[in-house]
Structure 1
């Protein structure tokens, strides 16, 4: 009887110890053992105290909290993140924000745990607004298809042309949009809109600014016979009035003037280069439209643009370049052009201009040019 009494007493004592231990353990767990997010920070050790309230696509973040060790899934909006066990502890989870675009946006970070419980935290993901870098050709006729290069063209995409007319989207690919130019489009910036923002281009569509060689009408000293006004069936189409076409063999180091002359021969168009382009060429581009029905694969083209006279040197634009029979916009940083010149100064009465073929090698040339201009790289807001 005494043994039975002792056994019962020992059993009750063990139960008491277990209950006491369980109670003490539960009390020692923070937040009563319930998961909690305290804050989100960046993962750079040098900036570990930098808290974030939102993050961009693909960004690695640290979720700091309590009782997080049983996390099994993490969602940002409706996109599931990739979790790796070594990066999950009771107090910190390291995770990259998904790069995929959400369909439904609730601006929530959601953690799902092994027991099925869900923890939500207000945490917007920044989706990049569109980025426009260039157009294959800045001169495209109404009804034809323009190709725009950039990034973050998340569907649905809208392209608004100058004059407020929306173009018909033909195709959206990675970093590229093809769009039909609407009737009545005017010169100016284009706008691209998505659900995540909008942006205006830093170039003008059908850019009519600062054109210093246009052939509308022909001015200058050289080669009016290169000017095309009424193209035939085998000629490139007009894109902005007359254009220049050079269709002949050009020998090794031959000298074939394309266009140009002194200010007195070029007329008012010689004053079109902005003063700021002369003083700060790094802020400008030299642009023109080019159509090569045969590849530009030999010889060379020299530019003398924005100088007082013909004694300043030339910028050499070397081959190769091939547009495969369509018009494309060529972009050359104007600071690269002006490095060749001995003197760069503002000329109130206009600038000397010369574009000439002269370089090594024979060229079977069939190249057309239009709209030589010096325009800003960035449009000031």
Structure 2
């Protein structure tokens, strides 16, 4: 019986092996590099719906289709001086689908070069469009004069004949940089007291940043009196100024001696900043002064296309390596200062509480952002300098343990109060005594 089973298994294995050899030999469409020279008749887009659209140029990373004869003779393909990646699954004698490399050419000839196995080269005229500069972000949107700052993006091309230029909101033009790559521009910030967008111009065009330098749009907390808002809850978080100050006062989470446990243990007396709207009046005042509902200060109508931003400073002496910075907006139904009625609001008004963070009454499943940059390397600091943190409001989708929230902010009314609390998050780190300085908390367009 055992021999029969073994014999049957052996037969099946032999049949499978034979089938594999047969299938390998029986592939009439299998790619084979051919001899001779390729000929390109025209180039089109690769999709059937666009097959009648002939093109003579395309942007970096575009996928195009070469049409001609004997295209299987092409061993290597270059756009200007940049080699393309060929996939033989998309090459036939008459068509070749290929993606233009993302790398910017160093020498522009406006040619495609097709190299055969015998090292013959056939040229075809084709223009690769290099996009104008793309500005994504700035290392610190409140960078002070003399500090080093970096713009991040792409297509930062410094041409000898048309130098790359950074244009500040006050009109100053910078062409000298401490470091320059295709995706970063680093320079010393000159004096500039003007708020506004930053522009970058290259030989391929000019772009304007969506972010503002010295951004005051949607400013909620500057701690210097511009909005008048600060602590407004159970705790009087320390508002201070020192030699590291960016624009004056800032709020500080952690005191440099209080420990954050590996699981981000609860310590709201040191690691939480609360702004709970409302007052002790009845009805509560949420329309003006200290206690104003944030949506009455900042327009959250288009919150889906907004981001929460703030500047942050974490010294190298006190890095952060445990706990999540849970950032949570809340409506009147989640928290207010007193719980007294609010004129014009017919729902249940919640009083002062931490239920969103401790999980009571199911509020721990309400959406918030969890910011924990230490997870990438195990520990995080900002190198003794201020950086801008950007958290899209579309990211306010997690519960207190980092799972998907059961409900999320869904209307402007959900942006009345705001809490920053470094606690939990569902991921363990290492014990630390972090100092986290925060300034210029604002809600701004992210597009």
Within 5 Å, give how 1:211-360 maps onto structure 2: 211-217=219-225, 219=229, 220-221=231-232, 226-229=238-241, 231-232=242-243, 237-246=244-253, 247=255, 248-250=257-259, 252-256=265-269, 257-264=272-279, 266-267=290-291, 270=294, 271-276=296-301, 280-293=302-315, 294-305=318-329, 307-308=331-332, 309-310=335-336, 311=350, 313=356, 315=368, 317=370, 319-321=372-374, 322-324=380-382, 325-337=384-396, 345-346=411-412, 351-359=416-424
Deviation at 1:127, TM superposition (A): 0.9
Distance 2:237 2:66 in 1: 71
Rg: which structure is higher? 1
Task: Tell me: CA distance 1:228–1:104, structure 2 relative to 1, closer, same or farther (3 Å).
Answer: same
1:197 to 205, 222, 228: 205
Within 5 Å, give how 1:1-381 maps onto structure 2: 38-43=41-46, 48-57=51-60, 59=62, 61-64=64-67, 101-102=104-105, 107=110, 121=125, 123-156=126-159, 157-167=164-174, 168-217=176-225, 219=229, 220-221=231-232, 226-229=238-241, 231-232=242-243, 237-246=244-253, 247=255, 248-250=257-259, 252-256=265-269, 257-264=272-279, 266-267=290-291, 270=294, 271-276=296-301, 280-293=302-315, 294-305=318-329, 307-308=331-332, 309-310=335-336, 311=350, 313=356, 315=368, 317=370, 319-321=372-374, 322-324=380-382, 325-337=384-396, 345-346=411-412, 351-359=416-424, 363-378=432-447
Task: Tell me: CA distance 1:358–1:67, structure 2 relative to 1, closer, same or farther (3 Å).
Answer: closer
Tell me the TM-score normalised to structure 1 length: 0.69
Structure 1 range deviating more: 177-186 or 314-323: 314-323
Distance 1:120 1:141 in 2: 51
- Conserved? CA contact 1:54–1:126, under 8 Å: yes
Q: What secondary structure does 1:273 align onto?
A: coil
- Conserved? CA contact 1:191–1:201, under 8 Å: yes
Q: What secondary structure does 1:335 align onto?
A: helix
- Conserved? CA contact 1:161–1:185, under 8 Å: no
Deviation at 1:355, TM superposition (A): 2.8
Please report the RMSD computed on the Cα atoms of aligned residues, expressed in angstroms.
4.4
- Conserved? CA contact 2:237–2:273, under 8 Å: no
Distance 2:290 2:208 in 1: 34
Task: Tell me: CA distance 1:75–1:182, structure 2 relative to 1, closer, same or farther (3 Å).
Answer: same
Structure 2 segments unaligned to the other structure (5+ residues): 1-37, 280-288, 337-349, 358-367, 375-379, 400-406
Size of the aligned set, in residue pairs, is 335
Task: Tell me: CA distance 1:355–1:68, structure 2 relative to 1, closer, same or farther (3 Å).
Answer: closer
Distance 2:308 2:248 in 1: 20
Tell me the TM-score normalised to structure 2 length: 0.60
